[in-house]
Amino acid sequence: MVIISCILAAIAGLILALAHALVSRRLQSSADNRTGRIRNDLPGTDCGLCSYEGCYHFAKALAEGKTDPAVCLTITSTALHQIAETMGMTPAKAEPMMAVVHCKGGLHEARQRAHYAGLHDCWAAIIAGNGDMECIDGCLGLETCVAACPFGAITVNKNRIAAVDQERCTGCGRCIAACPRRLIELVPRIHKIYLACSNHDRGARVKRYCTAGCTACTLCVKATPSGAITIEDNLPRLDYSHGENFVPAAYKCPSNSFVDLVKARPKVNISPTCTGCGECIPSCPVEAITGDPGQRHVIDKEKCIGCGICLNVCRFHAISLWGGLGYRKESVKRGRR
């Protein structure tokens, strides 16, 4: 009986081992199939920003349920949904980001203190003598960030300033580490205004070597009563989580240190339903609204900057924005202040 029991136990163990092997092979085959399908949907750049060695290893981790497809910063919305369908999950995409360069003090705006003739690399210029510009916080223009971008989204313009093509930029962030002066930052793509200066000097000292440099005058702070702009180390810091569009701040800047990617802001229009309550008049940062109490108010289109603040003030929804938005790669200096 003992021998028979041992034989039966051995047979049962063998059957269980065979069943486990078959199930494991089937599961492994299923995981391999999912890995292949997911790998085909990924960008294929092998940038490593997901913390995995490449797209294959990231796809394998996705198939095994160890990570989320939204970790990939360069994934498209279509690919995200296809991968989510393969994995049997609901897609969740992080807020799209874009890279911006916090400097616009090129050869036309900033003063050169020397002529650099070394290696065409920003890190080399820093080691050699901290660059050839008077501003020690500005763009060196030696294309180190250009080489770091796997999508060809960064170029150095004729003014020797790094410029980001927002249509090509995926928000991967590789350019951030490439810049020795940390001039590049990722901001939400929905926002179109950012500060293009990293200089920590202030006042007349800045103006001695850069006409586009921020002087820490705080006018942008005063133009943003929500508190979305604060001054830290003589430099404005924009908090995009407040939902501000920063149009008044950019308009009020006497140094034109902000970049507005919108080339044509819409203008405000007040409809006949206006009751003339007057609440919109004090809200306008450029005093573009006028009118007598009880009468339909009017907008001075020449003064209106399209910030939209008055829309939220009007209780009767009599104000609207008219006109389309367009986007530009470089800022255009406004002719009025």
User: Residue 331 has what pLDDT?
Assistant: 44
Please give the pLDDT value at position 234.
95
Question: pLDDT tens for residues 92-135?
Answer: 666 788 999 999 999 999 999 999 999 999 999 999 999 999 99
**What pLDDT was estimated at residue 336?**
37
Residues 56 and 167 in one domain: no
Which parts of the chain sit beneath pLDDT 70? 1-2, 4-10, 12-14, 16-32, 91-94, 324-337
8 within domain boundaries: no
Q: Please indicate, yes or no, if residue 276 is contained in any of the structural domains.
A: yes
pLDDT at 257: 97
What domain range is 274 assigned to? 262-337
Q: Is there a single domain that holds both residue 59 and residue 128?
A: no
DSSP string, 32-85: HHHHHHHHHHS------TTSSSSHHHHHHHHHTTSS-GGG-TT--HHHHHHHHH
Does residue 87 belong to any structural domain of this protein?
yes
d(CA 322, CA 317): 14
Does residue 104 share a domain with residue 89?
no
What pLDDT was estimated at residue 249? 97
In a domain, 5, yes or no: no
For residue 46, the model assigns a pLDDT of 78
Which pLDDT does position 31 carry in this prediction?
58
Task: Look at the pTM and tell me if it is higher than 0.85.
Answer: no
Q: Are 165 and 100 in contact (CB under 8 A)?
A: no
